[in-house]
Structure 1
Amino acid sequence: MRDDEENQELPQKGTRSRSFLWRAFGALVFAGSVVFGTLILDTLPKMQRQLLGPLGPDALALTVLDRDGDEIANRGGRYAPIVPLNEMPDNLVLAVLSTEDRRFYEHFGFDVFGIGRAIVANLSAGGVVQGGSTITQQLAKNLYLGSERTFWRKAQEAVITVWLEYTYTKEDILTLYLNRIYMGAGAYGFEAASQHYFDKSVREVNLAEAALLAGLIKAPSRFAPTNDLSRAQRRAEIVLSTLVENGVLTEGETFAARVTPATIIKRAPRQGSQYFVDWIASEVAEILPGMTGQLIIETTLDPVQQAAGELSIADAIAERAANLPEDVDEPPTQGALVSMDPDGALRAMVGGRDYLESQFNRTFQAERQPGSAFKPFVYLAALENGLTPESRVSDRPISVNGWSPQNNGRFRGNVSLLTSMKYSINTVAVRLSEQVGRLEVIDAAERLGITSPLASHPSIALGTEEVTLLDLTSSYAVFANGGFRAKPYGIRRILNPDGDILFEQQSLATRVVAPGAARSMNYLLYQVILGGTGSNADIGGRPAAGKTGTSQEARDIWFVGYTADQVAGVWFGHDNASPMVNAEGGGLSATTWASFMKSVHEGTPIADLAGGKPAPVRRAQPRATGEESSVATGPQPEIHRFYVSLSNLFREAHRKQLNPGPGFRRGGETISR
């Protein structure tokens, strides 16, 4: 009875085992289906979108050109329009197929023989010396996938490979491959690589050049001829040998290419220009927000002026380091320079001593105290409120809200605006600012181009509010061009690879200063260089105007000036804003400015600067007496006809409506230089 029961239980156990196996198999099939479905849904929908353009849907690449049309830099990769397969040289296509995928036209995305051959070669060598990936696999890997090595990525590569082979013809796949594969030096595709390395279309390459290009695919960064030309040529020799071994070409057909290997064009390094390129990239983002694809940026940068600016800053920093006392321990001196046309077109931008050392651009990212270089805004406000260069004001001690500015020297009594600008007298600047109103000074600064927030406190007249070198230089351009806003710009045009213009700079001349006031400012600032604090900025017979600036404890030293043709600003200081020893704007900054301006004006005709002329010799005027002389006075008595006529010449228009400045920030005393 017990045996019968046991016999009855045996079939039940077998049934349960088979049922469990079927359930397990079904679960595995379900899980596999889910994984496969996820793989398909995660991979294939992206494919068609990726094929829409050479950069993908979210990428932006910039090719930046100087004013002569030469490339300054490439950001985000080098790309070129698609070159059809039938326009590629036969030798180039054969070289690629021989080295990368001999059985390309015979397999369906995976070359079993190639994989086996690679395994044998790698085992024999004891390392990886040969790959088994087909061109289709490489296209899938390089075009759609990242560089991570995971099972999921290999599975995606297989899916994409099958999808490519099923969706496109062999000719389509090869065309995509030749136009998208990475070729070193930031170049994607054979056309972009040929343009970069040989300065010609891939359609025109000879056999030696084709072999060099085909050899890059294996390791584009390692074999890039810009990194090591000899290594690239040795790799090209291997490609030529492979063509012969595979029976594609004969020894005779490759002889010339072996004897005369390919060379590349030499491109001068443009490291210093990268500060300008960074600025241009930020401008592109503002002009075309959210833009993707390949853009060609035609800029205003002058390579001659850029080189002169870099040399002037480097020489000045080296000279200062050589002349520092041995017991002085200072941080490295930094310097910056901006040069532009009077309309605001940037010609040179030096953002620091070494771009590789620091990418911080001190021309527009650093806000520093300009010192007396801010005073022209004070004098402009005074001129716009009815004063003239000959109006007189008291140079005597003054106290505003308990603060008393100091001069760099004695008090001179009653002086003209011309004299006070020439010698950068602090008390006069503060007295003028208080007389016309600080908000008038702020309004003048903002109208001319200062974008930093300016607080209305007494020391604003002495340049204690921080500004950028770019803003300050463009503000001085208003005087050079006769009174028009000179918003700095570096982009002339933005184009796509097809030549369509996406943006073009428009000349918008907005008058912000009356012609008479602009001439008067030129007259005042001309005297600064002629025989005042900026005499070291003299450039030898060419009319020039400008102003020195030295902030408290010489933490910043400036010189900003201009001719009729060019405007330039120079700044030196420490990044941590620590004081500099034996430094002033009328010294290092002025001499650096003069060196640069002499260089960029060499060979150009001398142009007159409106209002830029020496002041006539004057008879001594009676000194002001008493507290009532602490304000500016009008023109002198009628008997002095000469002074009256000069006053009429510089008489100004009505003052502008007040425009209070945003933000408040306190500053300290500024020493005039």
Structure 2
Amino acid sequence: MRQIVPPHWKKKIRHWMLDLDARIDSTLFSSGKGARELYERFSTFMDRFYVGRWKRWVIIEPLSEAATIGLVGLILMLALAVPAFRETADDDWLKKSDLAVSFLDRYGNPIGNRGIKHNDSIPLEDFPDHLIKATLATEDRRFYDHFGIDLAGTGRALMTNAQAGGVRQGGSSITQQLAKNLFLNNERTIERKVKEAFLAIWLETRLTKNEILKLYLDRAYMGGGTFGVDGAAHFYFNKSARDVTLAESAMLAGLFKAPTKYAPHINLPAARARANIVLDNLVDASFMTEGQVFGARRNPAMAVDRRDENSPNYYLDWAFEEMRRLVATFPKSYTERVFVVRTSIDMTVQRAAEATVENQLRQFGRDYHATQAAVAVADFDGGVRAMVGGRDYGASQFNRAVDAMRQPGSSFKPYVYATALMNGYKPTSIVVDGPVCIGNWCPQNYSHSYSGPMTLTQAITRSVNVIPVKLSIALGGKSPNPAKAGRVKITEMTRKFGIKAPLPDTPSMPIGSDEVSVLEHAVAYATFPNRGKAPIPHAVLEVRTGSGDLVWRFDRDGKKQTQAIPASVAADMSEMMSHVVSEGTARRAIIDGIPTAGKTGTTNAYRDAWFVGFTGNFTCAVWYGNDDYSPTNRMTGGSLPAQTWREVMVAAHQGVEIKEVPGIGMGQKRPPTPQAAAAMAAGTPKIIDTKPGPPPILTKRGADILVRVEKMLDEAIKTAGKTSSSEPPKPLRPLSSSSVAFPDSFAAAAPGQAAATAPPRKN
């Protein structure tokens, strides 16, 4: 057999690969041998420095561990410092200030201010010596001795707090507090404290101690919407910080810790008690003697009484946050920080809402075991006309209308029914009220019984729990998990309505177990009377600079409404919900002459009670409950919430042209009275018994006239009473058209005189 000789090129490749393999093997062997020799040489060299016995464990090992820990700590500190130093990226951080916003109501009347109210033009040397000493003695006694972080003060604070079992003493230096004020927020997290420490050291390297103290005195929040001691001195004492007394300085220095808690215009006794602690600090720090502070103890500061300045504070806080977000959308080249903002608030409605909540809680709160309430009133553009975030802003600044998330109960069901109508159901569709279970969860009706077949209108009127759950299952169709698929559709629908709350997917979601806010709930309901268009809640209507230049306007630059559901579905939902008021669970919300619709809501253990409803003009949500989630005394949405809603909405419709609600018109026909039924049976002309028309509107001029008439009658009666018994009393002179003019609401105008009526307020 002839031997096959491989081609020449294959032979070369084989030799090249063998050569490469040999070279790799040789290199690895040489490298290993060299590494061993190098290691042996290094070991021989290091053996010269070997330390054994006690010297190793006492000196060498601790130093080695310290070096290792120090290196790791340095790397960790650098990693933590990077996010902190990013906060200083703005080159204009020292000059940059917060917004200063003056708010107007929808008619252009001033209602309050938010943002910076400070004056940084006063040099440090012009501040009274006792004001600076009071600040240092209370906030940072070793301010001029530390490098930005007072390690001794922090350790002392930790010991004090550990012994007291709670936070009794703060450990932050003035520099740390300034870093927080300039760059960070007030959230209580470890991340914020770490950033604060790095930024404090950073500030100490760039500013002198006096510059840091001056900035702190100018930028610290002092309560009442004021920043800096000079702004606070003007607000609380009507004087410059240059002129404050020792007692007033002590009260101002006491505000740094908790300006809201110790604000003298809110809680003067607490402010004076805190000022007395500041005086103790002055003596303990050896800045003053007991004799020097004795006069301030005997004659404490008296703040200006500002209780009559009844600003809508919950509303202003929310509007200011909206303004912050709005300014963030302006071009970066825009440097203006002072604005005048016209809002959508109607102070007539606002005061009525505040007074109604206070009156209801004062009269019925104890019986129902309810301590808090929230109200939001809005128009169909989404402009919020009134907002009550709690019973007392001075006692708690937490806005329950915006920030509190509470279970809506049955007031969530309209979103479920709207989803059903969007998927082929009709208000007259028949559903069966009967047992249903999802897994091991079986919903129960309020009556713990079932009513059998009924229409969707009847189901929402009677607030049946089983029906929305059955609808959620039916909406899922033929999917493997129809209940879950149906809830997904319901969630998508609520998003279209404007609800941004998380809404976790739970079997009980269709009957209102997920949490929403009062404001979002109120404005979402406006979609029904707004022909299916979902408005966006807002406070700002117009933004101008301090010089009057127009910057932004909602109708021109704001977000536009979206069509959430067809107008026909919205009309059907309004008609269905009108039965809840006329014959269902919310009959206390009936307003004669004004078409009304809505839905009550009551959660488990009566923790939350709601009524959310609308007319042709406004939408409104009312919530009652307790901050600690404790149950009320069987309060339902048809009780205090519906009653409050009615009183607020009556005030909101004063002087307003009443509009019809699509799907309802101007109201439903009432059942004929027995007299009308008898007349119809007798063949008399048909009598239509409907709800009476809107109540007569009493204009301001008409009210003034009635007051004048009352005074004149009182004076006439007094004059008649003083007449001698022997002298017959003089007859009263009749009122002529020249002495008083009645508006056309009461009588025709006198000849030659215009009717005294005021034009209705526009929506």
TM-score by length of 2: 0.51
- 1:493-537: CA deviations, max 9, x gaps? 233222233432236132111010010011011111011111111
Matched residue, 1:340? 378
Q: Does 1:296 align with 2:321?
A: no
1:261-660 alignment, distance < 5 Å:
268-271=308-311, 273-289=312-328, 293-324=337-368, 330=369, 333-409=371-447, 410-436=449-475, 437-505=486-554, 506=558, 508-612=560-664
1:201-220 alignment, distance < 5 Å:
217-219=242-244
Q: Give the Å deviation of 1:404.
A: 1.5
In structure 1, C-alpha distance between the alignment counterparts of 2:126 and 2:413, rounded to whole Å: 64
Q: Give the Å deviation of 1:68.
A: 2.9
The answer on whether the counterparts of 2:378 and 2:620 sit within 8 Å (CA) in structure 1 is: yes
- 1:160-215: CA deviations, max 9, x gaps? 9xxxxxxxxxxxxxxxxxxx9xxx987899xx99x999xxxxxxxxxxxxxx9998
The answer on whether the counterparts of 2:348 and 2:651 sit within 8 Å (CA) in structure 1 is: no
In structure 1, C-alpha distance between the alignment counterparts of 2:637 and 2:473, rounded to whole Å: 25
The answer on whether the counterparts of 1:448 and 1:485 sit within 8 Å (CA) in structure 2 is: yes
The secondary structure found in structure 1 opposite 2:352 is: helix
The secondary structure found in structure 1 opposite 2:435 is: coil
The answer on whether the counterparts of 1:61 and 1:292 sit within 8 Å (CA) in structure 2 is: no
Residues 431 and 73 of structure 1, relative CA distance in 2, 3 Å threshold: same
The answer on whether the counterparts of 1:58 and 1:292 sit within 8 Å (CA) in structure 2 is: no
The answer on whether the counterparts of 2:128 and 2:242 sit within 8 Å (CA) in structure 1 is: no
In structure 2, C-alpha distance between the alignment counterparts of 1:458 and 1:146, rounded to whole Å: 59
Q: Give the Å deviation of 1:322.
A: 4.6
Residues 471 and 300 of structure 1, relative CA distance in 2, 3 Å threshold: same
Q: Give the Å deviation of 1:344.
A: 0.7
In structure 2, C-alpha distance between the alignment counterparts of 1:495 and 1:545, rounded to whole Å: 38
In structure 2, C-alpha distance between the alignment counterparts of 1:366 and 1:186, rounded to whole Å: 23
In structure 2, C-alpha distance between the alignment counterparts of 1:270 and 1:569, rounded to whole Å: 23
Q: Give the Å deviation of 1:217.
A: 4.9
The answer on whether the counterparts of 1:371 and 1:549 sit within 8 Å (CA) in structure 2 is: yes
- 1:316-340: CA deviations, max 9, x gaps? 211223535xxxxx5x621000000
The secondary structure found in structure 2 opposite 1:445 is: helix
Residues 286 and 214 of structure 1, relative CA distance in 2, 3 Å threshold: closer
In structure 2, C-alpha distance between the alignment counterparts of 1:612 and 1:336, rounded to whole Å: 28
Q: Give the Å deviation of 1:466.
A: 0.9
Q: Give the Å deviation of 1:74.
A: 2.4
1:32-51 alignment, distance < 5 Å:
none
Residues 407 and 507 of structure 1, relative CA distance in 2, 3 Å threshold: same
The secondary structure found in structure 1 opposite 2:508 is: helix
The answer on whether the counterparts of 1:57 and 1:292 sit within 8 Å (CA) in structure 2 is: no
The secondary structure found in structure 1 opposite 2:340 is: strand
The answer on whether the counterparts of 2:98 and 2:116 sit within 8 Å (CA) in structure 1 is: no
- 1:566-592: CA deviations, max 9, x gaps? 110000111111211121011111111
Q: Give the Å deviation of 1:389.
A: 0.8
The secondary structure found in structure 2 opposite 1:480 is: coil
In structure 1, C-alpha distance between the alignment counterparts of 2:568 and 2:511, rounded to whole Å: 25
In structure 2, C-alpha distance between the alignment counterparts of 1:151 and 1:368, rounded to whole Å: 49
Q: Give the Å deviation of 1:449.
A: 1.2
TM-score by length of 1: 0.57
The answer on whether the counterparts of 1:140 and 1:157 sit within 8 Å (CA) in structure 2 is: no
The secondary structure found in structure 1 opposite 2:643 is: helix
Residues 481 and 406 of structure 1, relative CA distance in 2, 3 Å threshold: same
The answer on whether the counterparts of 2:536 and 2:559 sit within 8 Å (CA) in structure 1 is: no
The answer on whether the counterparts of 1:137 and 1:157 sit within 8 Å (CA) in structure 2 is: no
The answer on whether the counterparts of 1:482 and 1:519 sit within 8 Å (CA) in structure 2 is: yes
The secondary structure found in structure 2 opposite 1:301 is: coil
1:10-159 alignment, distance < 5 Å:
56-78=95-117, 138=126
| Superposed CA RMSD | 4.3
- 1:110-131: CA deviations, max 9, x gaps? xxxxxxxxxxxxxxxxxxxxxx
In structure 2, C-alpha distance between the alignment counterparts of 1:159 and 1:360, rounded to whole Å: 36
The answer on whether the counterparts of 2:115 and 2:226 sit within 8 Å (CA) in structure 1 is: no
The secondary structure found in structure 2 opposite 1:478 is: coil
In structure 2, C-alpha distance between the alignment counterparts of 1:137 and 1:315, rounded to whole Å: 51
Residues 545 and 345 of structure 1, relative CA distance in 2, 3 Å threshold: same
**Unaligned 5+ runs, structure 1:** 1-51, 83-133, 161-179, 198-211, 229-263, 325-329, 619-673
The answer on whether the counterparts of 1:483 and 1:515 sit within 8 Å (CA) in structure 2 is: yes
In structure 2, C-alpha distance between the alignment counterparts of 1:573 and 1:495, rounded to whole Å: 39
Greater shift in the superposed pair: 518-527 or 501-510:
501-510
AA matched with 1:593: W
The answer on whether the counterparts of 1:79 and 1:294 sit within 8 Å (CA) in structure 2 is: no
- 1:13-63: CA deviations, max 9, x gaps? xxxxxxxxxxxxxxxxxxxxxxxxxxxxxxxxxxxxxxx99x942333222
The answer on whether the counterparts of 1:396 and 1:427 sit within 8 Å (CA) in structure 2 is: yes
The answer on whether the counterparts of 1:369 and 1:465 sit within 8 Å (CA) in structure 2 is: yes
Q: Give the Å deviation of 1:417.
A: 0.8
Looking at both structures, which has the greater relative contact order when contacts are Cα pairs under 8 Å and sequence separation is at least 6?
A: 1
The answer on whether the counterparts of 1:554 and 1:579 sit within 8 Å (CA) in structure 2 is: yes
Residues 602 and 159 of structure 1, relative CA distance in 2, 3 Å threshold: closer
In structure 1, C-alpha distance between the alignment counterparts of 2:124 and 2:593, rounded to whole Å: 69
The secondary structure found in structure 2 opposite 1:352 is: coil
In structure 2, C-alpha distance between the alignment counterparts of 1:159 and 1:323, rounded to whole Å: 58
Residues 616 and 69 of structure 1, relative CA distance in 2, 3 Å threshold: closer
The answer on whether the counterparts of 1:340 and 1:567 sit within 8 Å (CA) in structure 2 is: yes
Q: Give the Å deviation of 1:617.
A: 11
Residues 287 and 426 of structure 1, relative CA distance in 2, 3 Å threshold: same
- 1:596-626: CA deviations, max 9, x gaps? 11122123333211112677899xxxxxxxx
Residues 419 and 147 of structure 1, relative CA distance in 2, 3 Å threshold: same
The secondary structure found in structure 2 opposite 1:585 is: coil
Residues 139 and 588 of structure 1, relative CA distance in 2, 3 Å threshold: closer
AA matched with 2:591: I
Residues 317 and 499 of structure 1, relative CA distance in 2, 3 Å threshold: same
The answer on whether the counterparts of 2:126 and 2:242 sit within 8 Å (CA) in structure 1 is: no
In structure 2, C-alpha distance between the alignment counterparts of 1:286 and 1:317, rounded to whole Å: 34
AA matched with 1:382: A
AA matched with 2:243: K
The answer on whether the counterparts of 2:127 and 2:241 sit within 8 Å (CA) in structure 1 is: no
